[in-house]
């Protein structure tokens, strides 16, 4: 039962991250169209998005955890 709940929690977290990435991407598009000189803001948002892609979808955290924690 606990494994099923952890999978559900991981799925929910993944869906929320995907929605957040979609909203941020749309925001980046708007900033790029409306205010192109704000390139630094776009770089900061891109770094923020890259962090979430790496941690949530590439599962980098598993490299640093022991087998017992899975």
In the numeric block, the tokens 């955890």 are attached to 65
- Provide the domain limits for residue 29: 2-69
Residues 54-65 pLDDT 10s: 988 887 777 777
pTM of the complete model = 0.76
Q: What is the pLDDT of residue 68?
A: 58
**pLDDT tops 60 at residue 70:** no
* Domains in the chain, number: 1
State both tokens at 30: 């708007």
CA distance 24 to 40: 15
Looking at per-residue confidence, does 50 or 60 come out higher? Answer: 50
């Amino acid at each position: 039962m606990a494994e099923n709940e952890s999978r559900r929690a991981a799925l929910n977290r993944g869906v929320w991250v995907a929605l957040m990435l979609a909203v941020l991407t749309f925001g980046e598009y708007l900033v790029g169209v409306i205010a192109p000189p704000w390139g630094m803001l776009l770089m900061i948002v891109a770094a923020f998005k890259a962090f979430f892609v790496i941690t949530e979808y590439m599962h980098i955290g598993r490299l640093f955890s022991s087998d017992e924690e899975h």
